[in-house]
Amino acid sequence: MSAKTLLSISGLHKAFGGLIAVNQMRFDVHEGEIVGLLGPNGSGKTTVMNLISGALSPNEGKVVLAGRDITSLPVHAISHAGIARTFQLVRILHDLDCIENIEAGLAFRPGPLWGDAAKSAAITLLDRIGLADHAHTSAGDLTYIDQKRLELGRALALQPKLLLLDEWLAGLNPSELQEGISLVRKLKSEGLTIIMVEHVMDAIRSLCDRCVVMNAGTKIADGPPETVLSDPEVIRAYLGDSHA
Ligand SMILES: Nc1ncnc2c1ncn2[C@@H]1O[C@H](COP(=O)(O)OP(=O)(O)OP(=O)(O)O)[C@@H](O)[C@H]1O
């Protein structure tokens, strides 16, 4: 692959007491790629996302973004370095409207925006994520998919190089799922690099350039979705021995 490496993780190890949640994980993400991080429940995916975003520090190993070692930097420094994320449980400011939610994000990016500049950037961003008609709607009054869009907008307000989506498509009905997939595809077409933890196989197949699969903290596969999803070791990890 000729694209430049944006993120490189190597030898990443995280234990919680006696439980090894992430065991010598390593993978690269190239600029402009969507990489799916897959694996059965409890395999360590969210812990990897937390180690990349700085919510947790590894016991060993390195996280390198665009050639810079960002391992164990505090969350705000990693965010300034160019990584933003969404969470399994949507995090938005329910009592504020959509513009205010985005403005709160814009205040935390490198080169923060305030006042009229923030308002105008917020309106542009709401349009980009399909919320132009809800600028003055309270976040708490939005439908579930629109709350997800707004959380994504708050992450994009930080102008990330790398976006981490943690089950961003979970819980959507079939038509919302297609809308969500289209939005992620649009972000990729704009040049954003994305790691997505996802269980929705249609989304993985249609969006991911590559999938990294974990089982019990360890990487068991890394390759194009069609190859990885038919790998007997991956099928065994998800479904048990009888299906492999
Ligand atoms: N803060 C923590 N303290 C103790 N154990 C933890 C902590 N966070 C995660 N774990 C454990 O580490 C293992 C990996 O958890 P993790 O949430 O990373 O898995 P996951 O693949 O994201 O799972 P899911 O698909 O269910 O979200 C699990 O056994 C989990 O119980």
| DSSP strand pairing (60-65 vs 5-16) | antiparallel
- Average pLDDT of the chain is 93
Q: Has residue 112 got a pLDDT over 60? A: yes
Q: In this structure, are 170 and 225 located in the same domain?
A: yes
CB 192 within 8 Å of CB 204: no
User: Total domain count for the chain?
Assistant: 2
50 CA closest ligand 1 atom index: 18
Q: Is residue 183 part of a domain?
A: yes
Residues in the ligand 1 pocket, defined by CB under 6 Å: 16, 19, 21, 39, 41-47
CB 78 within 8 Å of CB 49: no
Closest Cα to atom 14 of ligand 1: 44
Q: In this structure, are 58 and 133 located in the same domain?
A: no
What average pLDDT does this structure show over 88-94?
Answer: 80
* Best residue for ligand 1 mutational test, from 12, 43, 53, 169 (most atoms within 8 Å of Cβ): 43
Q: Has residue 241 got a pLDDT over 70? A: no
Q: In this structure, are 10 and 104 located in the same domain?
A: no
CA nearest 212: which of 49, 90, 21? 49
Q: Is residue 221 part of a domain?
A: yes
214 CA closest ligand 1 atom index: 21
> What pLDDT sits at residue 208?
97
Closest Cα to atom 25 of ligand 1: 41
Could you tell me the CATH number of the domain that includes residue 68? 3.40.50.300
Q: Write out pLDDT tens, residues 10-21.
A: 999 999 999 999
Q: Is residue 203 part of a domain?
A: yes
Q: In this structure, are 54 and 122 located in the same domain?
A: no
199 CA closest ligand 1 atom index: 25
Number of neighbouring beta carbons within 10 Å of residue 218: 16
What average pLDDT does this structure show over 167-194?
Answer: 94
Q: Has residue 1 got a pLDDT over 50? A: no
CA distance 180 to 161: 20
Q: In this structure, are 69 and 178 located in the same domain?
A: yes
Closest Cα to atom 17 of ligand 1: 46
Q: How far is the CA of 48 from the centre of ligand 1 (A)?
A: 10
Q: Is residue 87 part of a domain?
A: no
ipTM of the complex: 0.97
> What pLDDT sits at residue 229?
93
Q: How far is the CA of 222 from the centre of ligand 1 (A)?
A: 21
CA distance 163 to 148: 14
Q: Is residue 143 part of a domain?
A: yes
Give the domain-ending residue among 132, 159, 186.
159
Q: In this structure, are 72 and 52 located in the same domain?
A: yes
For residue 154 the two structure tokens come to 């708050």
Total count of residues recorded for the chain: 244
Q: In this structure, are 192 and 234 located in the same domain?
A: yes
Domain that holds residue 214: 1-82+161-244
Q: In this structure, are 112 and 173 located in the same domain?
A: no
For residue 210 the two structure tokens come to 């590559």
Please give the C-alpha separations between residue 169 and each of 63, 93, 217, 230, in angstroms, as whole numbers. 26, 20, 23, 22
Q: In this structure, are 184 and 233 located in the same domain?
A: yes
> What pLDDT sits at residue 63?
98
Q: In this structure, are 99 and 212 located in the same domain?
A: no
What are 1's strand-pairing partners?
none
What average pLDDT does this structure show over 195-209?
Answer: 94
